[in-house]
Amino acid sequence: MTLDEFKRRYALHQLPTDTGPQIHRTLRQAAVLVPLMEASGELELLLTRRPTHLRAHPGQISFPGGKVEESDASYADTALREAFEEIALPRDNVEVLGQYPMFNTFTGFAIAPIIGVVREAFEPVLDPGEVDELFSVPLSFLLEPANRIQKQFSRRGVSYPVYFIPYGEYFIWGATAAMIDRLCRQIGN
């Protein structure tokens, strides 16, 4: 899928967004950048792998992002700040297309997924305290429904869908996989 085709499909199926950090007061506020980048005429999704020494979510695949700080003007501001801190992606090199509805996690976070297109190649510098690796997955791979697995799991007597996306040596699951699935369902039609 080309960048122009992605933008067309994204615009056709725009989802409603939340307006700001005050929406989910009982959950800790966070935002992630869902960064797409064109490479050789095809879009790829950039993802990070968290270091294994971290106490929270060690070794997991994630988007650049983190907790909202009081100095952040918006969820997009949080996502862009965190992407710069984690992988040195300059905020002026990202075209923000929009925000998906909040994604609430079992761990007590309300996460705002910010969809953005990386305009030009950049030299990543990984923060070793937050990121072990930066890699990309072709959007065409993610758009194939057979590559996105959904299973039902129970927690405290309630059944929840959990998403999994195996890709080569990587195993994407949980909130990151669910956000990818939501994006693919939106633009895959």
Read off the pLDDT of residues 119-169 as tens digits, 9 standing for 90 and up.
999 999 999 999 999 999 999 999 999 999 999 888 788 888 889 999 999
pTM, rounded to two decimals? 0.87
User: What is d(CA 88, CA 121) in angstroms, rounded to the nearest whole number?
Assistant: 12
CB 94 within 8 A of CB 119: yes
Please write the tens of the pLDDT for every residue from 86-133.
999 999 999 999 998 888 887 788 999 999 999 999 999 999 999 999
Q: At what angle do helices 3-12 and 174-187 cross, to 10 degrees?
A: 90
User: What pLDDT sits at residue 25?
Assistant: 53
Say how many C-beta atoms besides its own lie within 10 A of residue 45's C-beta.
20
pLDDT band at 58 (very low <50, low <70, confident <90, very high): low
Q: Which two tokens stand for residue 136?
A: 């990309």
Angle at 113 (CA atoms; ends 110, 118), nearest 5 degrees: 155
- The CB-side HSE value for 56 (13 A sphere, CA atoms) comes to 8
